[in-house]
């Protein structure tokens, strides 16, 4: 038996004898959904998580999962289809190396969401009050409070009910490889001894490599020194193991960034603020571009010109987001969204020249009132622009997660450079090739991260179940 990953051989293992039908590396949305689907089909399933708690980036996210043609959309009178979702995503991403994956994810997206809600009591609700970046109709389904921690909690409860074993503080250190197939994993538990666990199938669900400076230098050097705002577990070792076994890579230079992390709160400032009309200015009081290109693309726009920015909103936006998003209220409670009764006070909070800022807001308001594109091409500013009193949050761009990885087929099986599946090995979520284009942050549409996490997790679990 040989291994991929750390130099672990079977003879070095201290404990042997554990065996499961399905072993999953990583307890985020991808791993938990996959284990649930396989368990439902009667397979024994073990999920291994290296950190103290399950959840990874899924917990940090807003938990928004795209579904095209769900019954929740039909009930809300929204006409959607997988074909429309594919069109939307490819329009946003441009051509890339995993376009078939976009179709597979779109085609199963409604089924997965309904299965999670109906069969496993996972709380996902269609967001109808606004559309997200890259989507021509409302199709994101999220926890009621748009907090990914609740998606994780619901999935963990569903796994518990179904009889999935979840073991935390148990890093996987490498893959067991036997006669050209993956036959299990080697684990190195924080509180135990290194040992092998055999499996008929292994799913790599350990997310991407945004927490690894070395892998960023290799694939996305432009982001290697940008602040990272994701889970500590995303260190990319699974992608390297799969590559060592001959897996093809795809879209590994794509990533999701975020334009507005609330600096003092250390949490994301909801992009709903911008979608409802907030604008972002630099320290000099000038806008930095067209914010409506989306939080990921806009982060890429501003990362090279401003390490600090200010997101300005008015009472209408502030009240709406406070009513709907507890996470925003937390940022307010920390004092990170102070009020300014007029432009002069707003400029003082930002530390910029009042006349410059007044000119910036007046220009945006004029194009909003005229219903024309502003100087950057933005067309979605509402009404007569922002009205006093204003609110402002100090923000900065950050890297959230990487979007590319190993090539997979429609069953989430890892595909080798010769085009054939590597027996016994599956990948999903941030480990797998993404659907956000082949390069940079601009191809990311809202929900693309959880789309391949939930979608490929479901595909892997169902295939293993069969």
Ligand X SMILES: Cc1cc2nc3c(=O)[nH]c(=O)nc-3n(C[C@H](O)[C@H](O)[C@H](O)COP(=O)(O)OP(=O)(O)OC[C@H]3O[C@@H](n4cnc5c(N)ncnc54)[C@H](O)[C@@H]3O)c2cc1C
Q: What is the DSSP string of 307-320?
A: S-EEEEEEHHHHHH
Number of residues in contact with ligand X, rule: CB under 6 A?
Answer: 42
93 part of the interface to ligand X, by CB under 6 A: no
260 part of the interface to ligand X, by CB under 6 A: no
Pick from 4, 27, 279, 337 the residue near ligand X by CB under 6 A. 27
296 part of the interface to ligand X, by CB under 6 A: no
Pick from 22, 23, 37, 50 the residue near ligand X by CB under 6 A. 50
In angstroms, rounded to a whole number, what is the distance separating the alpha carbons of residues 58 and 460?
18
Shortest gap between Cβ of 460 and ligand X (angstroms)? Answer: 11
Pick from 23, 102, 133, 172 the residue near ligand X by CB under 6 A. 172
Pick from 69, 233, 461, 465 the residue near ligand X by CB under 6 A. 233
By CB under 6 A, the residues from 432 to 451 that bind ligand X are: 447-451
Q: What is the DSSP string of 318-381?
A: HHHHHHH-HHHHHHHHTT-S-EESSHHHHHHHHTS-HHHHHHHHHHHHHHHHHT---TT-----
Q: Which two tokens stand for residue 180?
A: 């050209």
Shortest gap between Cβ of 16 and ligand X (angstroms)? Answer: 19
Shortest gap between Cβ of 207 and ligand X (angstroms)? Answer: 3
CB 187 within 8 A of CB 8: no
Q: Where are the beta strands (DSSP E) in 82-194?
A: 125-126, 140-142, 165-167, 172-178, 181-187
202 part of the interface to ligand X, by CB under 6 A: no
Shortest gap between Cβ of 87 and ligand X (angstroms)? Answer: 19
Q: Which is nearer to ligand X, 114 or 284 (CB)?
A: 114
Shortest gap between Cβ of 267 and ligand X (angstroms)? Answer: 8
In the 8-state DSSP scheme, what is residue 206?
A: S
Q: Which is nearer to ligand X, 272 or 367 (CB)?
A: 272
Query: Of the candidates 185, 183, 202, which has an alpha carbon nearest to the alpha carbon of residue 6?
Result: 185
Query: Of the candidates 61, 112, 58, 123, which has an alpha carbon nearest to the alpha carbon of residue 82?
Result: 112
Pick from 8, 20, 40, 61 the residue near ligand X by CB under 6 A. 61
Q: Considering only the stretches 29-37, 100-108, 318-326, 409-417, report the one whose residues sit in contact with ligand X under the rule CB under 6 A.
A: 29-37
Whether residue 275 is preceded by a cis peptide bond, meaning omega within 30 degrees of 0, is: no
Query: Of the candidates 395, 397, 398, 400, which has an alpha carbon nearest to the alpha carbon of residue 265?
Result: 395
What character string, x for contact with ligand X (CB under 6 A) and - otherwise, covers 365-404? -----------------------------------xx---
Dihedrals phi, psi of 154, to nearest 5 degrees: -65, -40
Q: What does the binding site for ligand X look like in residue numbers (CB under 6 A)?
A: 25-31, 48-51, 55-58, 60-64, 171-172, 205-207, 229-231, 233-234, 237, 268, 400-401, 429-430, 447-451, 453
């Amino acid at each position: 038996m040989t291994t991929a990953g750390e130099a672990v051989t079977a003879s070095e293992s201290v404990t042997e004898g554990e065996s499961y039908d399905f072993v999953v590396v990583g307890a985020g949305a991808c791993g938990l959904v996959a284990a649930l689907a396989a368990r439902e089909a009667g397979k024994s399933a073990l999920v291994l998580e290296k950190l103290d708690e399950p959840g990874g980036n899924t917990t940090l996210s807003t938990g928004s999962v795209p579904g095209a043609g769900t019954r929740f959309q039909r009930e809300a009178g929204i006409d959607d289809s997988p074909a429309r979702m594919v069109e939307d995503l490819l329009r946003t991403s441009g051509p890339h190396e995993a376009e078939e994956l976009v179709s597979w994810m779109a085609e199963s997206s409604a089924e997965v969401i309904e299965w999670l809600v109906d069969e496993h009591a996972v709380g996902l609700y269609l967001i109808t009050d606004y559309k997200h970046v890259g989507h021509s109709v409302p199709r994101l389904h999220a926890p009621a409070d748009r907090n990914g921690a609740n998606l994780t909690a619901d999935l963990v409860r569903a796994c518990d009910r179904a009889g999935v074993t979840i073991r935390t503080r148990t890093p996987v250190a490498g893959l067991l490889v036997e006669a050209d197939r993956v036959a299990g994993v080697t684990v190195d538990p924080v509180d135990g001894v290194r040992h092998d666990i055999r499996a008929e199938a292994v799913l790599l669900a350990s997310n991407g490599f945004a927490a690894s400076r070395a892998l960023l230098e290799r694939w996305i050097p432009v982001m290697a020194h940008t602040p990272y705002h994701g889970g500590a577990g995303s260190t990319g070792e699974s992608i390297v193991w799969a590559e060592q076994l001959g897996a093809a890579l795809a879209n590994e230079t794509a990533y999701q960034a975020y334009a507005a992390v609330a600096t003092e709160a250390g949490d994301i400032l909801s992009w709903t603020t911008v979608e409802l009309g907030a604008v972002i200015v630099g320290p000099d009081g000038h806008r930095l571009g067209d914010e409506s290109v989306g939080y990921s693309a806009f982060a890429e726009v501003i990362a090279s010109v401003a390490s600090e920015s200010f997101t300005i909103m008015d009472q209408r936006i502030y009240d709406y987001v406070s009513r709907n998003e507890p996470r925003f209220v937390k940022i307010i409670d920390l004092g990170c969204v102070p009020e300014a009764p007029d432009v002069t006070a707003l400029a003082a909070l930002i530390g910029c020249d009042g006349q410059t800022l007044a000119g910036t807001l007046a220009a945006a308001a004029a194009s909003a009132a005229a219903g024309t594109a502003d100087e950057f091409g933005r067309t979605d500013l509402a009404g007569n622009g922002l009205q006093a009193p204003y609110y402002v949050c100090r923000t900065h761009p950050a890297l959230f997660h990487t979007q590319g990885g190993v090539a997979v087929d429609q069953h989430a099986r890892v595909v080798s450079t010769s085009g054939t599946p590597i027996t016994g090995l599956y990948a999903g979520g941030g480990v797998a090739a993404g659907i956000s284009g082949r390069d940079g942050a601009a191809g990311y549409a809202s929900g693309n991260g959880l789309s391949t996490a939930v979608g490929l997790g479901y595909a892997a679990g169902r295939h293993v179940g069969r």
